[in-house]
Structure 1
C-alpha cells in the first residue's frame, strides 16, 4: 500500500514526533498550514491503510505510526527498482551514480558501503 504525497508529508511529521495530537500535527506543518478537517481526512485514510492508529485520551486522539519510516522507504525503493529499472539493482546503481552528480568522495563512500555489505554476505 502506498501513501499519497499529502499523506507522506503527514507521515514524515508523525515519524518525527512519534506520537501526537491533531493540533500538534497541524502546528508542525509549514505555512500555509492545512485545515484541521484536511488533516483529519488524511489521518482517517492513513488509518484505513493501516499506517497510523490512535489512543483515545479523553476527548482527543493521540496518533502514532504503525509503519516504521525505514520499512516504508525500503518498500518504496524496492518498488521503484522493480518498476523503473527492470528489477535490476545494477541498472538503478548506474542511473543513480550517473544522474545525481556525486563527487569523487561520495562515490568512494558508496564503494565502502558496498564493500562492507559484500563482506557480510
Structure 2
C-alpha cells in the first residue's frame, strides 16, 4: 500500500462528496457541498486531490468527470491507524477508555462491541 498524503479538512469534505457520488463533474461536487463554494475553489481542490492520487478523471472534451482512486474504507483505515499511533500509542484500550471518559460511548455500545469481538473468535 502506497503512503497517501494527508488531506486538509476541505479536501476531505470534497472527497466525502466524490465517494458519495462515485463519479462527478466539479459543478456536481459544488452543488452537493453543504455550504456555498466558488467553482474555481472546488476545481483547485479537486486538482490537488488528483496530484495527491486520491482521484482521477475521464475527459469529455474540456470537462473532466472525477472518480475516487482511494476507497472511503481504505482512507478511514489509514486515518484511524494514524490517529491510533499519534494519540493513543497504538493502544486500543486507551482509545476506548478515552471515548468512555468523554461519554462518547455507552455501556450498551461497549457490550455490542464485545459481542462482535466474541463472534470473531
Q: Does the pair score TM above 0.5?
A: yes
Q: Tell me, yes or no, if structure 1 residue 89 matches structure 2 residue 92.
A: yes
Q: 2:8 aligns with which of 4, 13, 26?
A: 4
- RMSD of equivalent CA atoms: 1.3
Number of equivalences: 117
Q: Tell me, yes or no, if structure 1 residue 18 matches structure 2 residue 25.
A: no
* TM-score, structure 2 as length reference: 0.89
CA distance 1:101–1:44, shift in 2 (3 Å) = closer
Aligned to 1:75: 78
Question: Structure 2 stretches of 5 or more lacking a match?
Answer: none
Cα deviations by residue, 1:77-113 (Å, 9 ceiling, x for unpaired): 1111111111212211221233234333212111112
* TM-score, structure 1 as length reference: 0.89
Moved over 4 A (4+): none
Question: Structure 1 stretches of 5 or more lacking a match?
Answer: none
